Amino acid sequence: MVVVVEQNGTHAAAITPKRLTLDGIGARRAKAGRLVASTASYSDSDMFKSPYAYGKPKAKRWEHLFSQESLARGPCVLKQAAKYLKQPGMISLGGGLPAPENFPIDSLSLRVPTPPYFTEAETHGPLGQDITIGKYDARNPDGESVFDLSIGMNYGQSVGAAPLVRWVTEHTELVNAPPYSDWRCALTVGSTGALEQALRIFCDRARGDSILTEEFSFSTALETALPLGIRVFGVGMDGEGLVPERLDEVLSNWDPAARGGARKPTVLYTVPSGQNPTGATQSLQRRREVYKVCQKHDVYIFEDEPYYYLQMPAYNSSNGHANGHTNGHTNGHANGAVALPAETIEEFLESLVPSLLSIDTDGRVLRMDSFSKVVVPGSRVGWITASEEVVDRFIRHAECCNQGPSGISQLVMHKLVDETWGHEGYLRWLMHLRREYTRRRDTILAACEKYLPRDLVSWVPPAAGMFLWLQIDPAQHPRAGAVSLLEIEEQLFFTCIAKGVLATRGSWFRAEPDRPLSGLFFRTTFAAASESNIAAAVERFGAAVREVFGRS
């Protein structure tokens, strides 16, 4: 899907449309010259998109879906005034931006990996490299640096600092090449912040708005919607996640009276890769079908993708067993799994199941990316990509709630992924990381095969992310029929705790907690514990299951 080599010949161009490449980014930057972006300077993705991004149709308009709250937001006058600062010779008596001489940090230094030597030991040893960020680096006209502490420590524009807006725009175009022209990016305070803002833009309590999501969904997302007065309804899933036919059924047969007065949903919130909590990954075919159903019912999509780059090769169990479904992606692996550990950047990008954003001809997707799961959660830096109209609503909101992510965080992220690693080094880091997660995934699956009673516990090997969703057969409980699923779940949860293993109860993730549980599930993660502890934890979980089900 992703083409990383420029197609110059007419024949090749006829087969594959031209799109941005790594070489293309380098060439564009060289041609554009040094980025000049002083304190609080305005930027937007249009300054950094390649010519390939234009000449495509424009996005549909979404004003009819915007909430009263969002429509009431105008531009922040103080942020707007900052654009005059770039006028040569301008002396500011305007915005309350403190002078950097009163910032009590002179420099910041970081030790980071040198691609491709990414391990902790390599970074700590002679292969690691030190970066020092000075207060006024960007003032040196002969220097490489375009972002320094004097800028990062001051107020900035809510869209994000120009150097990082440039990087996320280039990265997004390289990986997703959105098929419409007027897309933009804006930095976010992680996907948590992005979702809260997106919900408040698209949903209005006064209208009785509701959203759809997977029947088991990320609990924090549910906890974000409910206090806003937004009702959440679940859609049936299988091993590939959200089932498009179920989505169509729910929307086609929507009856507000049967749904407590909720309007037919106009938003779908979905996590297509390594879904939290089920670990399911939608194949390309699945994504296309979901998109089509959303087009049919004019539903806008929030694509939350913190695990997108943690897509893994298919799992080969030692006993040759592999349950699951076909992903329908060009390579056709089980459970949306990618074929082989990627060796080259081209193979890596090619192996990723294309995003909803990459098939979004209407501009009906707001994609959320985050550095949390692929660099550090504490950065609190992520970004959204959506049509200009939607990103404008998002920035207006950010101006009055968080002003975008911390400038210091943006600076650190920029130094790492742009100035030090560059796009290529960052992609190599992602390749390294997915190898790490593949090993951890394989460790937990091997432990499950060894320690769990297979007639009681089943699972689909995850093809992305950090979660393994275990399904337990409640019919085999000694008091089946006399006790509820929730009671069995609780009994198993506390038995696990007593044995020294914490696993997350499936019921905590129900999109509709007042509906009966559709099964007995536990979410486990292979991200947190050490590999040796993962095996020990699964052994304890197996012992708890045996005890609760009268097998010990």
In order of 478, 480, 543, 544, 546, the CA distances from 549 in angstroms are 6, 10, 10, 8, 5
Cis geometry, peptide bond prior to residue 116 (ω within 30 degrees of 0): yes
Q: Is the dihedral of CA 226, 468, 376, 416 positive or negative?
A: negative
Specify the DSSP element, H or E, that contains 471.
Answer: strand 467-472
Among 43, 283, 372, 410, binds ligand PMP (CB under 6 A): 372
Task: State in angstroms the smallest separation of the CB of 388 from ligand PMP.
Answer: 23
Kindly report the number of other CB atoms within 10 A of residue 509's CB atom.
24
Q: d(Cα 521, Cα 506) in Å, to the nearest integer? A: 5
Nearer to ligand PMP, 128 or 377 (CB): 377
Angle at 440 between CA 435 and CA 445, to 5 degrees: 125
Nearer to ligand PMP, 149 or 242 (CB): 242
Residues 456-515 that bind ligand PMP (CB under 6 A): none
Specify the DSSP element, H or E, that contains 269.
Answer: strand 267-270
Task: State in angstroms the smallest separation of the CB of 425 from ligand PMP.
Answer: 22
Q: d(Cα 456, Cα 219) in Å, to the nearest integer? A: 26
Nearer to ligand PMP, 178 or 190 (CB): 190
Residues 262-281 that bind ligand PMP (CB under 6 A): 271, 276
Nearer to ligand PMP, 27 or 401 (CB): 401
> Which residues lie below 8 Å from residue 442, measured CB to CB, with a gap of 6+?
315
Among 137, 304, 399, 442, binds ligand PMP (CB under 6 A): 304
Task: State in angstroms the smallest separation of the CB of 194 from ligand PMP.
Answer: 7
Task: State in angstroms the smallest separation of the CB of 18 from ligand PMP.
Answer: 32
The piece of 185-193, 248-256, 424-432, 470-478 that touches ligand PMP (CB under 6 A) is: 185-193
- Alpha helices, H only, 353-499: 388-401, 407-414, 422-451, 485-499
Among 370, 406, 443, 495, binds ligand PMP (CB under 6 A): 370
Task: State in angstroms the smallest separation of the CB of 216 from ligand PMP.
Answer: 12
Task: State in angstroms the smallest separation of the CB of 184 from ligand PMP.
Answer: 19
Task: State in angstroms the smallest separation of the CB of 371 from ligand PMP.
Answer: 7
The piece of 2-10, 68-76, 122-130, 186-194 that touches ligand PMP (CB under 6 A) is: 186-194
By C-alpha distance, which of 237, 238, 240, 304 is closest to 268?
Answer: 304
Interface with ligand PMP, residue 405, by CB under 6 A: no
Binding mask 187-226 for ligand PMP (x = CB under 6 A): ---xxx-------------------------x--------
The piece of 291-299, 347-355, 370-378, 536-544 that touches ligand PMP (CB under 6 A) is: 370-378
Q: How many residues interact with ligand PMP (rule CB under 6 A)?
A: 12
Three-state secondary structure call for residue 213: strand
Nearer to ligand PMP, 37 or 175 (CB): 175
The amino acid present at 461, given as its one-letter code, is P
Nearer to ligand PMP, 175 or 485 (CB): 175
Adjacent-strand bridge partners of 334? 326
Q: d(Cα 548, Cα 441) in Å, to the nearest integer? A: 26
Three-state secondary structure call for residue 132: strand
Specify the DSSP element, H or E, that contains 211.
Answer: strand 210-214
Q: d(Cα 294, Cα 301) in Å, to the nearest integer? A: 8
Q: d(Cα 300, Cα 277) in Å, to the nearest integer? A: 22
By C-alpha distance, which of 344, 509, 412 is closest to 151?
Answer: 412
Q: What radius of gyration do the chain's Cα atoms show?
A: 24
Residues 380-399 that bind ligand PMP (CB under 6 A): 382
> Nearest to ligand PMP by Cβ — which residue?
190
Three-state secondary structure call for residue 494: helix
Task: State in angstroms the smallest separation of the CB of 217 from ligand PMP.
Answer: 8
Among 265, 279, 306, 336, binds ligand PMP (CB under 6 A): 306
Task: State in angstroms the smallest separation of the CB of 508 from ligand PMP.
Answer: 13
Q: Which residues bind ligand PMP (CB under 6 A)?
A: 190-192, 218, 271, 276, 304, 306, 370, 372, 377, 382
